[in-house]
């Protein structure tokens, strides 16, 4: 019996490996995709309970674009998205304050890389426990 199925969309396989150990240790079933194309394919094939996503992969903003696409699609708009990225200091944009904005950053949670295992687990649990909504709840 697993707590939930999580898809990680991140182009760093080493980081994904570390995240997998943390999440699987808390009995989550984890799959991963290295880019947004593979990510979308996996979502369509098997809808996950939560998506953990990086921002900068093949382009500097494909994570943003994918999250907007998902939130526009009625089939997937209910999947909570946790953005886990180090892009904030690169761009200087205060994502923590804008996360949840349906126009700008329609995600349910935002964490800065690197993240402490317990902080990640707490956030994942919060998002999966049904508290999440499409508002700014970070």
Partner 1 sequence: MKSTDSCLGKLAMEPIPENIRLLKGAYWLAKLRWIAIVYVIVGTYVTHEILRVGLNDVALYVIAGFLVVYNITVLVLLNRLMKADQEVPCKAVNKLVCAYQAIVWVLLNRFTKVDPKVSCKAVSRIINLQICMDLFLLTVLLHFSGGIENPLVFYFIFHMIIASILLSMRESYLQATFAVCLFGLLALLEYKQLIPHYCLTGFVPHCLGREKLYVLGTFFVFTTAVYLAVYMANYIAIRLKHTEAAYRQANIMLREKDRVKDEYVLRVTHDIKGHLATIQASLAVVTGKLTGPLGAEEADLIRRAYARSVKLVSFVRALLRLTQLRLSDKSEMDVFSLRDAIQNAVGAAETRAQEKSITLDCAIESSVDDIFGDRFSIEEMITNLLLNAVKYTPQKGTVRISARDEKNWVLLEVADTGIGIPEKELGKIFDEFYRATNARQVERDGTGLGLSIVRLIVERHGGRIRVESKEGRGTKFTLELPKGQRP
- Which residues of the chain form contacts with partner 1 (CB under 8 A)? 12, 14-15, 17-19, 21-22, 25, 86, 89-94, 97, 113-118
Q: Are strands 4-9 and 28-33 parallel, antiparallel or unpaired?
A: parallel
Cβ-based nearer residue to partner 1, 22 or 37: 22
Nearer to partner 1, 44 or 97 (CB): 97
Between residues 22 and 29, which has the closer beta carbon with respect to partner 1? Answer: 22
Q: Minimal distance in Å, beta carbon 41 to partner 1?
A: 25
Tell the smallest beta-carbon distance from residue 73 to partner 1 (Å).
Answer: 29
Query: Do β-strands 50-53 and 4-9 pair in parallel, antiparallel, or remain unpaired?
Result: parallel
Q: Collapsing DSSP states into helix, strand and coil, what is residue 114? A: coil
Helix (H) or strand (E) segment spanning residue 64: helix 62-72
Contact status, residue 99 vs residue 68, Cβ threshold 8 Å: no
For partner 1, give the closer residue by CB, 27 or 72.
27
* Least spacing, CB of residue 134 vs partner 1, in Å: 22
Minimum Å distance from CB 38 to partner 1?
A: 20
By CB atoms closer than 10 A (0-12, 13-18, 19+), residue 76 is middle
Question: What Cα–Cα distance (Å) separates residue 44 from each residue in 18, 39, 62?
Answer: 25, 9, 18
């Amino acid at each position: 019996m697993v707590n939930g199925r999580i898809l990680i969309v991140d182009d760093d396989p080493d980081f994904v490996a570390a995240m997998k150990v943390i999440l699987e240790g808390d009995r989550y079933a984890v799959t991963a995709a290295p880019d947004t194309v593979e990510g979308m394919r996996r979502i369509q094939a098997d809808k996950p309970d939560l998506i953990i996503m990086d921002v900068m992969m093949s382009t500097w903003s494909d994570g943003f674009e994918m999250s907007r696409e998902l939130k526009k699609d009625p089939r997937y708009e209910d999947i909570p998205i946790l953005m886990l990225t180090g892009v904030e200091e690169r761009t200087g944009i205060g994502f923590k304050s804008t996360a949840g904005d349906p126009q700008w950053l329609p995600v349910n949670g935002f964490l800065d890389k690197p993240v402490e295992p317990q902080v990640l687990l707490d956030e994942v649990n919060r998002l999966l426990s049904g508290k999440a909504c499409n508002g700014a709840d970070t």
